[in-house]
Structure 1
Amino acid sequence: MVYIVVGISSTIALSRAKEVLHCTTFFASYFACLMSSASLYHLVYHSTATTPFNEADLTAILGQARNWNEAHDLTGILLYSQGDIIQVLEGTQEEIQYIFGRISQDQRHFQVVKLSDGPIRERNFSQWSMGFRVVNAHDFAQLRGYTNPESDTYLATYSENENVSLHSLLSTFITEEEVRF
């Protein structure tokens, strides 16, 4: 009997696959190789909106991001305030580089500057969230994936992880009246 295992994405899944398949050393090495090529990666960038986004623009961006990210196993956060954008993306390096290439060409913003990128041990944002100031907060609170950036728990999960300087940058972006880079 032959088993084909596709999409192993965690150490637990790899361990279970080895148990189920009673892997030989060859298969164990093969799956370990798959795991290393699919390790987590992050990218953080800052950009400036070509024109200020309104409520409808932000709703459209939220919908597009949620659909794309779910289909490509990407997580992260997008912060918007007075024309400034900071986004953190998490996923495989291949997916992150592809989407960042698309983001860099998006005409809705300019001066796209990569602030940080590299491997990460775990996701800091397990669900896609999007933060921005809104006119009608109640309506946006009903949208899946929206988190109010002024909420005390907005960055709570992220602050428990090790990248303190990035957390500080994101916290400043949320709390400052206007942030310019």
Structure 2
Amino acid sequence: MNSIIQLIVNPQKIQLKLEIDQTLTVEEILQFIQQNYIITTNIDEWTCYSDLRQRYLNNNERIVIQQNEKLYINTEPQSELVDLSEQSDQSSIYLFITNGNSRQELQAYFHQDSSLEEIAQFVLKYCQLTENVNPPFVSIKIYNQAYNDVIKRSKSLSQLSIKNNSIIDAIISQQTNKSR
């Protein structure tokens, strides 16, 4: 299966769309950019940030085909890289995602004005469960306290005083209405 992804290469300000297949790795995309745009810096030092997954990808990772994927590639990370955790409006959040018997750990960056509902939707998108007719419900727990009603889930990270490097448990339930 092929998919089109958007690439934004900085600091060269190159924007392109590529049709790729599932077997392509980040390193192969970086090599393609290096060869076609004659960039001389070492690709092992480049960074590749996935907009949908909201994290940096390793060079040996395969590209997960998802609709509307944008990859931000920085060919000069030492001079251009901004530590997102140091930006005052963003927080690094550790998500512990439980989906049945599967458990994943993920670090993601969210704006302080992001709501818990937006984080729940991010979890569904990350687990590729948003395309379901009846998407599962994501139960949110912070410090063992549930945040599953509409009022709590509409609050932002800053309103709930959720700070940088906090841990959020996200439990995916196939019973969409029962948990609410």
Q: Into which bin does the TM-score normalised by the smaller protein fall?
A: under 0.3
Query: What TM-score do the two structures reach when normalised by structure 2?
Result: 0.23
Of Structure 1 and Structure 2, which has the larger fraction of its residues in helix?
A: 1
Of Structure 1 and Structure 2, which has the larger fraction of its residues in strand?
A: 2
Query: What TM-score do the two structures reach when normalised by structure 1?
Result: 0.23
